[in-house]
Structure 1
Amino acid sequence: MKKIFSSFVKKVHKCKKCPRLVQFRNKISSEKRKSYQNQTYWNKPVTGFGDLGAKLILIGLAPAAHGATRTGRVFTGDKSADFLFQCLFKSGLSNQPNSDHIKDGLKLKNTFITLALRCVPPQDKPKTIELKNCSSFFKEELKMLKNKKVIIALGKIAFDACIRFYKENYNISGSFKFAHGAKYKINDVYLVGCYHPSPRNVNTKRVDIPKMVSLFKKAKKLG
């Protein structure tokens, strides 16, 4: 499995299917944020990471401009990561409450984190064609995670991407509405909606650590 995943990772890193995203990623990585001026940005598409035998899968929308686009690992090195990993640690799903850089010793427990889109889009708003271009990677990665029992979609766009994936590949039908804690059984997998751990959602108290930890612990029991 590790060899198969390694081959998949190399393929994703070479992808240049979306000119708008490549141009934007290059712009971010050359201009940089002031506090990261001395750092070399990753500036490639980002794949998932974690336990390849995981039952619990977290799906985000896309790499953060100065998080994963800089560090090379999803939900690493930004405020969303700071909040998310406090919650994962308190839920028993990671070995530490922080995700700072790719050599920080972070390990996930029975959990894998990935993305619907592999490159950061301008204003965090991907185009339909860009999500479609990335859907083949999304499909391939999910199929490799053969033990998955629960998918937690972090935010509505990630949730909609999951629904689109299952409708296109498994001929499911019906209405699926995003809400924090919404739960749907799709074939042999539960799909759970979850507010994105963004500073906006945290600062407005739309989501807090107890609420997120509660959702993660309930999701663990589903698996």
Structure 2
Amino acid sequence: MHSRAVSLAHPRTGALFDSPVPPGTGWPGDPATSETPAASTPAQVIALADAARTLAGLDAVVSVCRACPRLVEWREHVAVTKRRAYADEPYWGRPVPGWGAERPRVLLVGLAPAAHGGNRTGRIFTGDRSGDVLFAALHRAGLANSPISVDAADGLALNGTRVVAAVRCAPPGNAPTPTERATCAPWLDAEWRLAGIDVRAIVALGNFGWRAALQMVRASGAQISRPTPQFGHGAQARLRTGERDVVLLGCYHPSQQNTFTGKLTPAMLDDVLGRAATIAGLSR
């Protein structure tokens, strides 16, 4: 583990924090305390995920997980070395839990937090260009109260919507290994168990988000058609979960590469999120 740098002021609250941020020290939205148990092995991830009985409790144990040594090393290295633009800010430097409505009707599934986005701010898709694009689109769709996502204390709230990452730590090169993906999967399965009861539409951001979403609902006993539905922007698959159908929608990830090249345009993003809102009964 890297030695922590001098405490720095949170850009909004002004409170002082070490980087990475110790649990229970007052960071906005921190769900954990100094007593929250931290998983250090895949088996402990499974045990803590299965034991979670509330979403708040799940968020807490997710936010202190240390089960993947490479990811722990990287997220804490980034938190200490920082990007020059944020050199005077503290970095969260911990796993980033899901965020949004506790009983969502729309669930967005992405890959992993960005090193200088969620890994810095402590909130998924917050503080980077991908988040800027995504939350602006969620606002246009009526699923967010603001188009701006800056930090965990900015007042942003989601309407009937929750955003999660399949892998909860920022990975080197934005590329978690298959082992890291498998180790993290029980957190997503538990989130679906606790928060998915009212979900009517799942938006998968990118191919890995699509595969993670299918694995998540399959683990809960959902019926997946054969052949397995394939990802594509605008792709749609109906999943039978218990007594209800859930619609899985594919969307290109709002990465800088996709948005700068025009592979994903605002209109394309609006179309998918608008469909999700309509399916979920949340459209304006």
TM-score by length of 2: 0.75
Q: State yes or no: 1:87 paired with 2:144.
A: no
Shift of 1:173: 5.1
CA contact (8 A) 2:193 2:220 kept: no
Runs (4 or more) in structure 1 with deviation over 6 Å come to: none
Residue 210 of structure 1: aligned partner: 267
Q: Distance in 1 between matches of 2:158 and 2:78?
A: 28
Name the % identity. 36
Q: Secondary structure at the residue paired with 1:119? A: coil
CA contact (8 A) 1:86 1:97 kept: yes
Query: Please, which runs of 5 or more residues in structure 2 have no aligned partner?
Result: 1-30, 32-52
Residue 21 of structure 2: aligned partner: none
Q: Distance in 1 between matches of 2:247 and 2:105?
A: 10
Post-superposition CA distance 1:53-90 (Å, at most 9, x none)? 21000011000010000000001000001111111111
Query: Please, which runs of 5 or more residues in structure 1 have no aligned partner?
Result: none
CA contact (8 A) 2:91 2:121 kept: yes
CA contact (8 A) 2:189 2:219 kept: no
CA contact (8 A) 2:123 2:152 kept: yes
Residue 158 of structure 2: aligned partner: 108
Residue 81 of structure 2: aligned partner: 31
Relative to its length, the structure with more helix (as a share) is 1
Q: Distance in 1 between matches of 2:60 and 2:213?
A: 23
- Count of residues in correspondence between the two structures: 222
Q: State yes or no: 1:153 paired with 2:204.
A: yes
Residue 105 of structure 2: aligned partner: 55
CA contact (8 A) 1:167 1:173 kept: no
CA contact (8 A) 1:57 1:150 kept: yes
Higher RCO structure (Cα 8 Å, ≥6 apart): 1
Q: State yes or no: 1:5 paired with 2:65.
A: no
- Aligned residue type for 1:197: P
Shift of 1:207: 1.0
Post-superposition CA distance 1:104-151 (Å, at most 9, x none)? 010101111111000011111111111111111101111111111111
Q: Secondary structure at the residue paired with 2:215? A: helix
Q: State yes or no: 1:191 paired with 2:233.
A: no
Q: Distance in 2 between matches of 1:167 and 1:5?
A: 20
TM-score by length of 1: 0.95
Q: Distance in 1 between matches of 2:276 and 2:225?
A: 23
Q: Secondary structure at the residue paired with 1:66? A: coil
Post-superposition CA distance 1:139-186 (Å, at most 9, x none)? 111111111111101111111111222334426452221101100011
- Aligned residue type for 2:207: K
